[in-house]
Amino acid sequence: MSISRYSRARVRPSGSRREVFYWYLMRITGLMLFVLALAHFSILHFIWDPAEQTAEFVINERWNRLFWRGFDWLLLMMVLFHGFIGMRTVVLDYIRPPRWRTLLLWLLYGLAVVLFVIGTQVIVTLPLSGAE
């Protein structure tokens, strides 16, 4: 494994099963996001323009099909796992004092739960006005 250490972002951990799980999770969610996030950004910047996007647009145009709500919800799930496990790595790399580490990780996971709840809530509860 010595040659690969040079350019891998992070060598696949061995030992802790949790770390191995996170290592795979980052790569699987990363691949999904390569498609989902780039498609989402392209649709909302190249097909539509931010100047056309109002709350009414989201209700009547963007989210009037279950498919696009499902698409954006899947994107949200992938972003939450990828973004928060990624930020966990950042915290573990830079924050050494155990108490600060624990505190920051709890704040981070708390924020993830809040984003999961409000993101899911708006996708599920917004009326499907022009549903097809």
Partner 1 sequence: MTRVPTLLRYRGREGMLAWAFHRISGIGIFAFVVLHVVDIYLVGGNPELYDEVLDFYASVPGRLLEVVLGAALLYHALNGLRIIIIDLWPRMTVYHRALWWGSWVIFILLGVPGALIILRPVWLPLLQGLGLG
Contact (CB, 8 A) for 23 and 13: yes
Q: Is 76 in the site for partner 1 (CB under 8 A)?
A: yes
Whichever of 9 and 18 has its CB closer to partner 1, that residue is 9
> Out of 15, 17, 18, 56, which residue is the one contacting partner 1 (CB under 8 A)?
56
CA dihedral 25, 15, 7, 42 (to 10 degrees): 10
- Part of the chain binding partner 1 (CB under 8 A), chosen from 13-21, 49-57, 97-105: 49-57
Check binding of 51 to partner 1 (CB under 8 A). Answer: yes
Half-sphere exposure of 28 (CA within 13 A, CB side): 8
Which of 15, 17, 18, 93 forms a contact with partner 1 (CB under 8 A)? 93
CA distance 67 to 58: 14
- Tell me if 57 sits within 8 A of 43, measured CB to CB: no
**Residues 75, 119 contacting (CB under 8 angstroms):** no
Among 37, 77, 104, 105, binds partner 1 (CB under 8 A): 37
Minimum CB distance to partner 1, residue 102 (Å): 20
Among 86, 105, 85, which Cα is nearest to 95's? 105
Residues binding partner 1 (CB under 8 A) = 1, 3-4, 6-9, 12, 27, 30-31, 33-34, 37-38, 41-42, 45-46, 49-51, 53-56, 58-59, 76, 79, 83, 86-87, 90, 93-94, 111, 115, 118-119, 121-122, 125-126
